[in-house]
Every structure is written in C-alpha cells, then in structure tokens.
C-alpha cells in the first residue's frame, strides 16, 4: 500500500496531537434533547429557514416533492451561498409513493459537474510534475462545467407538477428583495476565499464594507440571472447566458467554453438498493461513492446486534461500526470512479457473503490497523492504484422533502469547498465550483485534502469526479402480489440478494419499485427515512450513523441529526470524533489501540463539527412526519403541515 508523503506527515502529526491529549472532564453530547418537528402531511428540512419556507410555500400551492425540491435548490443558491448554488452540481434521489408519480419508479439525477474539454490529466502539475498548490481548489482553473441549472430544471420538467417560473419565484424574490443575515451568516461572508476575487468581493463583501448581522443581503445580479433561467432554462447552456459565462471564463483564464456548456447533460442513473434489518435502502450510484459504501457498511453491520453491544455511541458500538467503515472505505478507495469511464465491482462490494467474510476479520475488541488490513480473497477483482479517501471541509448542503402523497426527494448539492472556487461570474452574480479537486490531480500524490487517488478518478474531458454525496431513502420492502410472473424476467434489483452466479462488474439495474406499465404488481413499501448530509468523505459515515441511530438504537430523528459524530475512512488510520464527543469515550477507544482525533482539540472556540444532516422520518405507527433539522448551524429549519 502506498502512502503519499503528505498523508504520512498528516497521520503522524495527528497521532501526536491525539497522544498528547490530556484527559478532561466528560462533556455530554449536545442538543439531543430537542424534539423532532412534527407534521401530518408534508415536510421540508433544509439548512436555511428561507429555503425551507420556499419549499413549503410550493407544497402548499399544490406542488409535489420535486417542485418543492427545485424551489429549495434555487432558494439555497441565494440564501446559502457557501454551498447552495447554480454554479455547482449534485445529485437528486426521487422516490415515488405510488404509480401515480414518476412512473412508479425511483429516479436518480446525476447533475454533477463535468471536466471541461480543455481539462487534462496533468493540468494541475508544473513542468517538473509537481502539484501546483491550490490550483484545483481556488480560482477559475478549479471549476468543472456546472450541472445544477440543468439538474433542477430537468427535475422540474420531468417530475414537477407546477411551472419552472412558479417554483423559482421564491428564489428570485429572495435575491431581489434580500434576506436578513444572522450573525453566523454575516461572519461566513468574511471568507478570504471571496476576498481574493474582485467580483466576489464586490457581491458578497461590498468591497470591504462587510455585511453586518441584521443587514438585508440583496443580490440584484443573481435575481436577474435567475429570472432569465426561469424564462428560458436553455439559455444557461445554449444561449446568451452561456455566452456570458464563456466570455467571463475566457477573460479570467477559466476553461469552461460555450461548447462545454452546450455539451452538458443531466444523467439519469439507476439508484442502488441495499437491505438492512428488513428495510430497503435506496441510495446513490456512482459517480457517488457513497451509496455502495453505505450498502457495504450496512451489510457488514447486519451480522451484529448493535444494541446488545451497548447504547448509541458507546465504545463497543463505535468499535464495530468503525471497523465496518474502515473496510468499506478500503474498497471505496480502490475501485470507484465515474461509471461512464470505469467498470466497477459494485455487485461484489454489495455481496452479503463478502460482508460475512469481512466480519470474520473484525476483532471484537481491537482495531485492525489499516496497514495490515487484507481483503478477503475470492470476491473482488485485483485493485488498480489505491485511491485513498480523505477528510473534507463542511460546505455542501443536503435537503429532504416529503409531499402530501408520500413522495420523497433526497438531494445533496455543492460547490465543493466553502464558496467553491471563490470566483463569482460577473455580471451574473453566482459563484463557480471547485469540483475539479475531487479528481485525481496526480496519481499517487495527495491533493489539497491529503487524498491520494487512482487513475480510475483521473481527470479527462467530459468526465465527472468521484463524489461522496449520498442522498438516501429508507423504506419498508415493496409488497408484491402472487401474480408477479414478470419479476424473474426483469433485471434483478437488489444488489445484495442476487445469486452469486449472476454477479458481474456491470451493476446498472432497475430497483424493485413498480412502474406504471409493468405487469408486476408491487406496492412500494412504506417510507421510513429520508437521509443525507454534506461533509466530504464523512458524508457516508454520517448517513450510516444517522440510519443506525434511528433503526438500531431508536433515537428520534432529531437526536440522530444532532448526535456527535465519529468517522473512520481507512486512511489516514485515525478514528475521528466531533468536538462534542465525550472524552471518556474517545479515551476508551484510544485504550483499545485506536489513534484518535477529536476535532478542534486545541481550539475550544472552534465549532469542531462536520456536515449538517437534514432528515425526515415517517413514524411507523402513526404515519406522521418527523423532521430532524441539524443544529450544527443556527439558521436551518424543519417545517411541514
């Protein structure tokens, strides 16, 4: 296994930090006492109250979950500029409650950014083959072709009930009339990532006359751009807007051309399905790495009775869950990339027999050092150059929506790092992403976050970088009637239950939810959870933790959202904790042999948190909706009716 020099240095530094930690008084986990938000019919949960209100307004006006999601997506582009966007990309998972919506099939919209045609494998290397610091993170060279406008408008056109103009109206209003900045939001706008680019400094920092808490932040240029998109969404990729974006890029050493924009397409991909304790887990396929890793984690954990080991976040539970994380992340690192450029062993990763073999390698007490971890033989193809995941900062955003018919949307989208590349496209008023950093900038060398990646994720024109975003929806199993003669002739849908002999490296399959024309007679199972989070490589461990907290440990959805998180990603071999984790727990894990890191150990003023999960649970007894809004940020909201 190859360790890049920066990974090694970081690992050693973090190990020193951990071992020098002096035991302190135990701190209780935060905010888990908060009650979920309750509603009978519909629910919207987002990181920003104005975006939640936008979604709710659209639901009340007769919109379905997709209408509300599109309204939220555009509203977040206005009120949460650190991550909400029209210059980035993301994923949207749609699950219908019946045949009456979306042809009775779940849909996964991949509107992730794409490498421009001028991008190349070595574009971030100097003449000596060394990485040019920050080039893939900051400034015009860092941006992929944005997919958000295509994704949201595609969703509206194919699955919405209202018009684009209607669902974009709240966002346009918020941009035009402004919204009131809280202290936290005003402080976020001080970002130096914005200061260094004149167009961003002008829009977000009034050229140095910074916005104050309580100020109304108006974005007239963005309002104008959104109005133009609402009138003609094609304009962003094929018209005047495209020409303006391309002209700005050309004038600022950017790579995105009018041809790149014209080439961009939303890709509908087949969602993955796993199973956990009899529930169906509908989740994200590649180019997300999150869904398949989540399925592998849950498959490993299904062999344990977690509550018997201890309570939620007890050292024994953390140990077993961490060992599942470690193993899934090893596979995530070695095999995944853009599915249009790679064949990937997804079915093998989701094989329960493989999970059982992994379980045999887990010591009940002690960690398995990542350096000595050996993959069980006989399941997986030979791995290419290892691809090591990494920890990222906290600037993506997730939202969850259920409408009055029970249709659900789980969507995560991003600019990558906070405020993306830092570059605002003038005079259009929106930030461009720095998603190119999710690619492998140099095989075998760590990127800005310490990630060493393989050629499976190398930069190539038109390619989409590997993502960790993991929008996920959990439900009861579909109920199929006896005359399901066509089931066997349809492709198998359950990645984790196919017979061994039918497994191949081809993994694109239709999930087991009925479509309107199908002769199979299945009723979708009852919706249980809508899940998702930002947080870079911590996303899938957050989603797994949230799911386990509710399903195994019976925490309320609000308690799950607020519970302090732990994370392990195989490399660096460090068990990471959010700052709120009780030190007694951290020390108990350290005593077992883990190298630990508690966020912000030496800066007690730092928030020391990862991404905000924004969650919905359907109460299995009453059918009522329970919203879990993450209190890691102060301005989010769960609301319903």
Nearer to ligand DON, 116 or 536 (CB): 536
Nearest distance, CB of residue 21 and ligand DON, angstroms:
25
Nearest distance, CB of residue 513 and ligand DON, angstroms:
26
Question: 374-377: long-range contacts at Cβ-Cβ below 8 A with a sequence spacing of 24 or more?
Answer: 375/330, 375/331
Nearer to ligand DON, 90 or 525 (CB): 90
- The closest alpha carbon to 268, from 511, 604, 608, 606, belongs to 511
In the numeric block, which tokens belong to residue 458? 């190398």
- Is 475 one of the binding residues for ligand DON (CB under 6 A)? no
In the numeric block, which tokens belong to residue 421? 């590349």
Nearer to ligand DON, 244 or 468 (CB): 468
Number of H helices, E strands in the chain: 20, 23
Which part of the chain contacts ligand DON (CB under 6 A), choosing from 152-160, 344-352, 443-451, 534-542?
534-542
- Is 81 one of the binding residues for ligand DON (CB under 6 A)? no
What is the footprint of ligand DON within residues 104-163 (CB under 6 A)? none
Q: Is the dihedral of CA 511, 515, 520, 522 positive or negative?
A: positive
Nearest distance, CB of residue 536 and ligand DON, angstroms:
4
Nearer to ligand DON, 273 or 539 (CB): 539
Rounded Cα–Cα distance for residues 36 and 305 (Å): 26
3-state secondary structure 391-438: ECCCCEEEEEEECCCCCEEEEEEECCCCCCCCCEECCCCEECCCHHHH
CA 200 to chain centre: 25
Rounded Cα–Cα distance for residues 12 and 142 (Å): 29
Which part of the chain contacts ligand DON (CB under 6 A), choosing from 16-24, 122-130, 309-317, 463-471?
463-471
Report the side by side order of strands in the sheet with 566-567. Answer: 566-567, 575-577, 596-598
Q: What is the DSSP string of 118-135?
A: T--TTTTB-TTSPBPTTT
Question: Could you say which of 66, 279, 469, 580 contacts ligand DON (CB under 6 A)?
Answer: 469
Nearest distance, CB of residue 13 and ligand DON, angstroms:
22
Nearest distance, CB of residue 611 and ligand DON, angstroms:
5
Q: Hey, which residues are catalytic here?
A: 396
Nearer to ligand DON, 87 or 611 (CB): 611
Helix (H, G, I), strand (E, B) or coil at 216: strand
Nearest distance, CB of residue 477 and ligand DON, angstroms:
30
Nearby residues of 179 by Cβ (< 8 Å), 6 or more positions away:
50, 78, 79, 216, 217
Question: Could you say which of 36, 535, 572, 582 contacts ligand DON (CB under 6 A)?
Answer: 535
Question: Could you say which of 18, 283, 416, 613 contacts ligand DON (CB under 6 A)?
Answer: 416
Contact indicator for 35, 594 with CB cutoff of 8 Å: no
Question: Could you say which of 450, 611, 627, 628 contacts ligand DON (CB under 6 A)?
Answer: 611
Nearer to ligand DON, 362 or 431 (CB): 431
Nearer to ligand DON, 582 or 611 (CB): 611
Nearer to ligand DON, 280 or 392 (CB): 392
Nearer to ligand DON, 43 or 431 (CB): 431
Nearest distance, CB of residue 592 and ligand DON, angstroms:
29
Which part of the chain contacts ligand DON (CB under 6 A), choosing from 45-53, 223-231, 422-430, 461-469?
461-469
Rounded Cα–Cα distance for residues 464 and 438 (Å): 9
- Is 395 one of the binding residues for ligand DON (CB under 6 A)? yes
Rounded Cα–Cα distance for residues 516 and 193 (Å): 49
Which part of the chain contacts ligand DON (CB under 6 A), choosing from 158-166, 301-309, 528-536, 544-552?
528-536
What is the footprint of ligand DON within residues 37-66 (CB under 6 A)? none
C-alpha angle with apex 401: 395 to 404, nearest 5 degrees?
170
Question: Could you say which of 53, 323, 392, 403 contacts ligand DON (CB under 6 A)?
Answer: 392
| Residue whose entry in the numeric block shows the structure tokens 């911590």 | 538
Rounded Cα–Cα distance for residues 187 and 201 (Å): 14
Which part of the chain contacts ligand DON (CB under 6 A), choosing from 215-223, 224-232, 394-402, 489-497?
394-402
Question: Could you say which of 163, 368, 393, 494 contacts ligand DON (CB under 6 A)?
Answer: 393
Helix (H, G, I), strand (E, B) or coil at 374: coil
Contact indicator for 572, 594 with CB cutoff of 8 Å: no
Residue window 435-454: x/- pattern of binding to ligand DON, with contact defined by CB under 6 A: x--x----------------
In the numeric block, which tokens belong to residue 619? 């109460």
- The closest alpha carbon to 524, from 623, 620, 627, 407, belongs to 407
Binding site for ligand DON (CB under 6 A): 392-396, 414, 416, 435, 438, 467-469, 534-536, 539, 611
């Amino acid at each position: 296994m190859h360790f890049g020099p920066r990974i090694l240095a970081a690992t050693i530094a973090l190990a020193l930090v951990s071992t020098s930690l002096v035991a302190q008084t135990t701190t209780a986990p935060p905010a888990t006492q908060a009650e979920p938000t309750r509603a009978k019919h519909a629910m919207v949960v987002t990181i920003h109250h104005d975006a939640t209100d936008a979604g709710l307004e659209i639901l009340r006006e007769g919109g379905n979950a997709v209408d509300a999601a599109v309204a939220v997506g555009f509203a977040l582009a206005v009120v949460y500029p650190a991550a909400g966007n029209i210059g980035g990309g993301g994923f949207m998972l749609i699950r219908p409650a019946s045949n009456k919506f979306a042809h009775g099939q779940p849909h996964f919209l991949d509107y992730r950014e794409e490498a421009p045609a001028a991008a190349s494998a070595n574009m971030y290397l100097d003449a000596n083959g060394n990485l040019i610091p920050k080039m893939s993170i900051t400034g015009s060279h860092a941006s992929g072709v944005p997919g958000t406008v295509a994704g949201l408008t595609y969703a509206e056109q194919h699955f919405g009930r209202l018009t684009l103009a209607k669902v974009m109206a709240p966002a346009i209003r918020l941009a035009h009339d402004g919204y009131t900045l809280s202290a936290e939001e005003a402080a976020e706008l001080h970002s130096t990532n914005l200061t260094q680019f004149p167009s961003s400094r002008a829009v977000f920092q009034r050229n140095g006359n910074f916005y104050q808490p309580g100020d109304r932040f108006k974005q007239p240029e963005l309002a104008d751009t959104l109005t133009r998109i609402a009138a003609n969404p094609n304009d962003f990729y094929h018209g005047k807007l495209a020409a303006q974006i391309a002209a700005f890029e050309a004038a600022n050493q950017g790579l995105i051309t009018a041809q790149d924009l014209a080439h961009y397409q939303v890709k509908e991909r087949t969602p993955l399905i796993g199973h956990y304790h009899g529930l169906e887990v509908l989740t994200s396929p590649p180019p997300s790495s999150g869904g398949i890793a989540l399925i592998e984690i849950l498959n490993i954990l299904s062999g344990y009775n977690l509550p018997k080991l201890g309570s939620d976040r007890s050292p024994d539970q953390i140990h077993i869950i961490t060992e599942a994380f470690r193993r899934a992340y090893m596979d995530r690192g070695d095999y995944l990339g853009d599915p249009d450029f790679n064949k990937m062993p997804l079915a093998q990763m989701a094989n329960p027999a493989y999970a059982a073999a992994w379980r045999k390698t887990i010591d009940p007490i002690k960690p398995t050092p990542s350096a000595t971890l050996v993959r069980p033989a006989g399941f997986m193809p030979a791995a290419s150059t290892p691809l090591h995941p990494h920890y990222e900062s906290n600037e993506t955003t997730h939202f969850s929506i259920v409408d009055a018919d029970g249709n659900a949307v789980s969507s995560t989208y991003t600019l990558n790092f906070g405020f993306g590349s830092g570059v605002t496209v003038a005079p259009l008023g929106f930030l461009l992403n720095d998603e190119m950093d999710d690619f492998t900038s140099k095989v075998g060398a760590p990127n800005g976050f310490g990630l060493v990646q393989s050629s499976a994720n190398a930069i190539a024109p038109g390619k989409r970088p590997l993502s960790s975003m993991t929008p996920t929806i959990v439900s009861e199993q579909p109920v199929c009637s006896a005359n399901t003669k066509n089931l066997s002739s349809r492709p198998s849908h359950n990645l984790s239950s196919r017979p061994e002999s039918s497994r191949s490296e081809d993994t694109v399959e239709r999930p087991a939810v009925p479509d309107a024309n199908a002769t199979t007679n299945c009723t979708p199972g009852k919706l249980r959870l809508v899940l998702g989070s930002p947080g870079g490589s911590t996303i899938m461990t957050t989603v797994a933790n949230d799911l386990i907290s509710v399903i195994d440990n019976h925490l309320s959805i609000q308690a799950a959202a607020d519970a302090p998180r732990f994370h392990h990603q195989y490399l660096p071999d460090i068990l990471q904790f959010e700052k709120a984790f009780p030190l007694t727990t951290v020390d108990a894990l350290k005593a077992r042999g883990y190298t630990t890191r508690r966020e912000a150990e030496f800066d007690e003023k730092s928030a020391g948190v990862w991404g905000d999960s924004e969650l919905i649970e359907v109460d299995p007894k009453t059918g009522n909706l329970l919203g879990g809004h993450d209190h890691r940020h102060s301005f989010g909201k769960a609301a319903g009716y």
